[in-house]
Amino acid sequence: MEETLIEEGGDVNREIEVAPALISVHPLEKSVAVAIGSQLRVYDLQGDCNVNLVDDSGGNLHSGSIRAICYGSKGRLFSSAGDDKLVKIWSTDSWHCTRTVCSEKRVSAVAISPDGLFVSYADKFGVVWVVALDGTSSEANDKAAPLFAHYCSIITSLEFAPDGRFIVSADRDFKIRVTVFPNKPISGAHEIQSFCLGHTEFVSCMAFVSTPEYPQGFLLSGSGDSTVRLWDVTSGSLLDTCEVAAEAGLLESNEKEDMFSPAVTDICASPDGSVVAVAIQRQVPQHFLLPLCVITNKVVSMGEIFIPTSLGLSSSPEHLWMITGASNLPALDDPSFARVRVISGLLKESPDSGQDDPILLEDSKIPGGERLLEKLQGSVSIVKEEQTLAAAAEAVKTAMCNLLIKRQYSSEKRELRKRSRNDRKQKQ
Amino acid sequence: MSEKKKGNPKSNKSTGLPRKRFYRARAHSNPLSDSHFPVPIAPSQVDYSLHYPHFFPSDETCNENCNSTINPEASILKPHSKKIQFADIGCGFGGLLISLSTLFPETLMIGMEIRDKVTEYVKERILALREANPGQYQNVSVVRTNSMKYIPNFFEKAQLSKMFFLFPDPHFKEKNHRRRVISPHLLDEYAYTLEVGGIIYTITDVEELGEWMKDCLEGHPLFEAIPEKELDSDPVVKLLSSATEEGQKVARNGGQTYLAVYRRIAISGTENGE
């Protein structure tokens, strides 16, 4: 019975691939970008208006689900990539697409180097590619060069160190690899600085924080083992571990839930590390403040049904932007659904003064107001919000599982699959 | 020893060595498939006392000193006084390891093999040899793992001084080239685990694969070829074809072997600028 269940589940997943909605905020909060399915929606907070994306790189717009978006190089550049195997690079002052790179495989993660000269992306084979952006967009330059690879493990997150020395990649095999980013990356990055090993489940997300005393930065990583860990990337040593479930008080409240300790699905941090926000799969976001590695936290529960699929934070972390939603939702009128929410009051004047807890802003109070919501969500108010959210929550859960967790088969199931293999035995 | 024989009907009655016919296995294993065996989380979690009880008698000594209820993790987590230096990737039936064991009696070495039955055989073989030759073969061990995926989980940066890739799967189809154990991207990881000056030994009887391995190593900025002369004086090179089961088979059939031995070099400053 179990076997048939697995089989059915697998088939359904293959037919409709639900893609979680993504959000990213300009480092100076000049704009907010949302990706839902193949749509990229951007709202200009500075000018308080919608942004019309213009693609003059000659390529098509995204035709498949967007899986990764990011701002880079102090917000000058923006990149989006996904299942249509296109990596698009946008200039954020005009929102023109300046470059479209074709990948051989679907793209799972993308990052822009701090100096804005290179864009790096990871594909479904675990290979990380690099594209040079040095203005001269000649034909030969349009192709990406392989940089390095994880052995056949899907890379979930790709980040550059703040000083640009390292490129860090995390995968579903609980590995974090720190690679020296060479001067001439087109010929590959061969020197591995370290591996950050300690997670016992897939690593889903990473973020760098740096302090004036330590400008090269510390790495934060979130994982399916329900921890957030702090690393020194130069040596690969684990500095601190935060059991998110315990911090959020989830474990005591609900003993049954123990077995499903919540997975950390996204993390974002202000560059100075004063605010670190974490989204977890079961209940949701909490954010905690991190002064000098001593983690104190504040949990903001969003209730059972708002499960952020992605988080965004600017460098002066006034607002924490959250989105939940997915494309290709089966049982809904509007197949792509997104809901944006904002938490404010994350920064306190002094740690002791603090009664002003973070608050979840009303729709009318968020920067950009309803016009922003109309752009980013597709509509201001969502009819039957409760039901829609609940349905979306389920779909999002499976979508995230498909993204992050490897398929598991029981041993009987494995035997069965082996027996029905059709590739054996042409004798040579 | 007689007890041992009773305990293991798969062993040869006179020598105590395991017999191969009880450990039949498929010749190939898919390195891309997800693994279902335990993998150490980090090199510090590799339990050396399990592999090399002679060098790491942690349990007994600890039991005397501390109470019997010691925290097992504490014994694992303390830094190893001596580290594994040789790794035979895809060790097969372990012929090379056994020969190396007596050649370098003070060096810890490990074989990594993905097929569980074959690993089981090597395990039994080492145990039998240890019993038959007291004091010897204490420095070799074997582990079942997918070394293409999990090498960083076993070895720290610059820990190894020799790595062996002997008669690996050829994977002829171009589609399957990414399954080859020597590939440009995997060499990055091998370079990470090898110390500067460490040596990577590869040998095959498949000409096409031999060329591929040589090309990969030649093209990698962290490896340089070892001159012919030096190879002649390296006692290990002779073992590559003579000590391994696969090598003996090739010799029996009068086949040719293709050797590529390279040294891990430091990153030169100019390398990046070139």
* A264-285 core/surface letters (b: 16 or more CB in 10 A; e: else): bbbbbbbbebbbbbbbbbbbbb
Kindly identify which residue of chain B lies nearest to residue A183, measuring between CA atoms.
B272
- Predicted confidence at residue A424, as pLDDT, reads 53
The pLDDT tens digits of the residues spanning A301-352 come to: 555 567 778 888 887 777 888 888 877 666 555 567 788 888 877 765 444 4
Kindly identify which residue of chain A lies nearest to residue B157, measuring between CA atoms.
A194
Least confident of A101-110, A392-401, B123-132, B256-265: A392-401
For A19-349+356-407, CATH gives: 2.130.10.10
Residues of B with a catalytic annotation lie at: 169
A307 and A260 Cβ atoms separated by less than 8 Å: no
Q: Do B191 and A191 touch (CB under 8 A)?
A: yes
Q: Which residues of A touch B (CB under 8 A)?
A: 125, 127, 146, 148-149, 151-153, 173-175, 177, 179, 182-184, 187-192, 194-195, 197-200, 236, 406-407, 411
Counting residues of chain A whose pLDDT is more than 70, the rounded percentage is 72
Distances (CA, A) of A64 to A36, A179, A394: 10, 30, 22
Please identify which residue in the block is written with the tokens 């030994």. B201
- Predicted confidence at residue A112, as pLDDT, reads 94
- Predicted confidence at residue A12, as pLDDT, reads 40
Structure tokens at A13: 């997943």
Q: Give the pTM.
A: 0.84
pLDDT band at residue A46 under the 50/70/90 scheme: confident
- Predicted confidence at residue A363, as pLDDT, reads 79
A231 and A243 Cβ atoms separated by less than 8 Å: no
Min Cα distance A219 → chain B (Å) is: 18
From chain A, pick out residues whose CB is under 8 angstroms from the CB of B192.
Answer: 191-192, 195
Structure tokens at A314: 């600017």
Structure tokens at B168: 């690996």
Largest pairwise CA distance in chain B: 65
Q: What domains are defined for chain B?
A: 79-264 (3.40.50.150)
Structure tokens at B241: 């074809």
Residue A192 is nearest to which of B43, B189, B272, comparing CB atoms?
A: B189
Size of interface A-B (CB pairs under 8 A): 64
Residues of chain B where predicted confidence (pLDDT) is lower than 70: 1-9, 13, 58-79, 269-274
Cβ atoms within 10 Å, residue A196: 28
Helix, strand and coil in chain A, % to nearest 5: 20, 40, 45
Min Cα distance A407 → chain B (Å) is: 9
Q: Which residues of B touch A (CB under 8 A)?
A: 31-32, 34, 36, 41-43, 148-149, 152-153, 157, 178, 184-189, 191-192, 220-222, 267, 272-274
Of A125, A219, A210, whose CA–CA distance to A168 is shortest?
A219
- Predicted confidence at residue A380, as pLDDT, reads 63
Phi-psi region of B247 (alpha: psi -120 to 50; beta: other; left: phi over 0): alpha
The pLDDT tens digits of the residues spanning A6-41 come to: 343 444 444 457 788 899 999 888 899 999 888 889
The pLDDT tens digits of the residues spanning A180-226 come to: 999 888 888 999 999 999 999 889 999 998 888 888 889 999 988 88
Binding-site members of B for S-adenosyl-L-methionine are 90, 113-114, 146-147, 166, 244-246
Kindly identify which residue of chain B lies nearest to residue A152, measuring between CA atoms.
B32
From chain A, pick out residues whose CB is under 8 angstroms from the CB of B145.
Answer: none
- Predicted confidence at residue A81, as pLDDT, reads 93
In this predicted structure, the answer to whether residue A266 has a pLDDT above a threshold of 90 is no
Query: Whole-angstrom Cα distance, residue A281 to residue A265?
Result: 6
Of A39, A57, A40, whose CA–CA distance to A328 is shortest?
A39
Binding-site members of B are 90, 113-114, 146-147, 166, 244-246
ipTM metric: 0.83
How much is the mean pLDDT over chain A? 77
Largest pairwise CA distance in chain A: 77
Mean pLDDT, rounded, for A38-67: 82
pLDDT band at residue A235 under the 50/70/90 scheme: very high
Min Cα distance A204 → chain B (Å) is: 17
Kindly identify which residue of chain A lies nearest to residue B268, measuring between CA atoms.
A191
**Rg of chain B's alpha carbons, rounded to an integer?**
19
Cα B229 to chain centroid distance, Å, stands at 26
In this predicted structure, the answer to whether residue A425 has a pLDDT above a threshold of 80 is no
Of B55, B40, B243, B52, whose CA–CA distance to B142 is shortest?
B52
Query: Whole-angstrom Cα distance, residue B127 to residue B54?
Result: 12
From chain A, pick out residues whose CB is under 8 angstroms from the CB of B188.
Answer: 148, 179, 189-192
